[in-house]
Structure 1
């Protein structure tokens, strides 16, 4: 065998190795994507179970979906504006009313 034949066999062997490694790489990439999706699913499941176990039982939390329209957005916007407006209004002075059995603090309007 001459050097040319040896080099051709080596090249053919390397090409076969590259093809098998490419196929293995593709399979592992697909498997990695599936495992990432499974991790995301299980993480959401654990979060839900933690809310059920340690959260308040009266809370009814649902997953946030931006595609669902907010029916009360206009009403809450008005309330938020009203709350911001009243937050800037100064509070009155504190005045202590003395009674026979104790005292009560009353806020008076300016």
Structure 2
């Protein structure tokens, strides 16, 4: 079992903070620049591989719903693995959810992002 250490969200690596801010603001061009060319994103039962598919994820994620996001927690697993916890509140079924964004970094870019409750 991998253990993690709770940290302040401000202690997340700048790449992760940049991705979260850009994605929340709908700035797809800025968000995609935080990903490695061969990055993998797993969200809501779908897997996106490579720049074109990750871009498709970024443009469709949350589509059809209006919601706000708030970064409410963060954890450090090791130098490459981090967890950001975002609280989403909106008009989607259930109306409120905390999602864990498990991020693997490769240098200064996101190599993998897995989003799960």
Same fold by TM-score greater than 0.5:
no
**Structure number having the greater strand percentage:** 2
Scaled by the length of structure 2, what TM-score is found? 0.17
**Structure number having the greater helix percentage:** 1
Structure of larger gyration radius:
1
Scaled by the length of structure 1, what TM-score is found? 0.18
Task: Report 1 or 2 for greater relative contact order, CA contacts < 8 Å, sequence distance ≥ 6.
Answer: 2
